[in-house]
Amino acid sequence: MSKVLIVDDSVYMRTLIKTALTDKGHEIVGEAADGENAINLALELSPDLITLDNILPDMMGLEILKVLREEGVTSKIIMVSAVGQQTVVNKGKELGAEEYIVKPFTAEALIEVVNKVL
């Protein structure tokens, strides 16, 4: 039972993730569709887990990750990337992300990664 913040500009993706995690008993404490909201909510809610989309309208997920870690946010963070480019994956790990998952994914694949992190 963990508190989860979902960051994705696609409402359907958020829905998809929310459905998958709620089914497993996790609590979705917040959703953000852009970087600014994501940072505010993460600081405000101190969630156990953040799913962080890399491509957002105002900033890149990797930038958000960097800000969050600099601000001392200790939440587990799973990077969500549309393109499974190795550079993005490496960069994410370097900046403090625990895991990553490439879109589109199945609910099972997501749960597997979340279980690995929590």
Partner 1 sequence: MNRIHNLSVKSKFALAILPLIIIIVVFDYLQIREHYEDYKDSQRLNKAILVGIEINHAVHELQKERGISAGFLSQDAEEFRGDLDAQRYKTDSTIQAFYDEIERDQLADLVSLHTEDLDNLGTYFDRIQEIRTNVDSRFIGADQVISYYSEINEVALRTVNSLISESRNRVAAEQVHAIIYFLKAKERASIERAVGTQAFSFGSLTPETRGQFTSLIAEQDAFIDAFTTIADQPSLVYFNNTVSGQDVVEVDRLREQLIQSLTLENDANYWYQMSTTKINLLKKTEDFMSVRIHDYTEGISAEANRSLYTVLVVDSSIALLTFVMIAFIVSHLLKDVETLEEFTKKVIAGDLSKKVIIKTRDEIGHYADTFNLMITEIKKSHLALKKERDKARFLYENIYKQSQVVFENVEQGIFLLNKEHKISRLYSRAMETIFGTKTIAGETLVNFMRTLLIPRDLEALEMFMKHLFNSDIDEDVVNQLNPVEQVKIFTESGGMVNTKYIRLAFTRIENKAGAIQQIMVTVTDETEGVLLQHKLEEADEKKKMEMEQMLSILKIDPALLRGFIVNSRKVLKSISAKYEGHDEGEGFEELLTFTFQIIHNLKGNSIVIGLQILTDRFHKIEDAITKLKDNPKVVGNDFLNILYEVNEVDIIIGNMSDMLRKVANIYNKFSSEEQTDTNYDLIDSLKRGLSTMSEDTGKAINFDFTNDKNLTIPKIIQDPIKDILIQLMRNSIAHGIEAPNVRIAKRKLIKGNIAITLDNEDGSDEMILTYRDDGNGLNTAQIIEKAIHRNVIAESERDKVDDAQVIDLLFSDGFSTNEDVDEYSGRGHGLGVVKSKIEELHGTFNVNFETGQFFEIVVKFPSNIQNPIEE
Rounded-to-integer distance, Cα 83 and Cα 96, Å? 19
Quick count: other Cβ atoms within 10 Å of Cβ 89? Answer: 17
Nearer to partner 1, 43 or 109 (CB): 109
Count interface residues toward partner 1 (CB under 8 A). Answer: 13
Q: Interface with partner 1 by CB under 8 A: which range of 7-15, 32-40, 63-71, 91-99?
A: 7-15
Nearer to partner 1, 60 or 117 (CB): 60
- Cis before 104? omega within 30: yes
Using CB under 8 A as the criterion, what x/- string covers residues 20-59 for binding partner 1? Answer: ---------------------------------x-x----
* 83 near partner 1, rule: CB under 8 A: yes
- The alpha helices in 1-118, defined as continuous H runs, are 11-23, 35-45, 61-70, 86-95, 107-117
Q: What are phi and psi of 41, to 5 degrees?
A: -65, -40
Nearer to partner 1, 10 or 37 (CB): 10
| Residue pointed to by tokens 């963990």 | 2
Q: Which residues sit at the interface with partner 1, rule CB under 8 A?
A: 9-10, 12-13, 15-16, 19, 53, 55, 82-83, 103-104
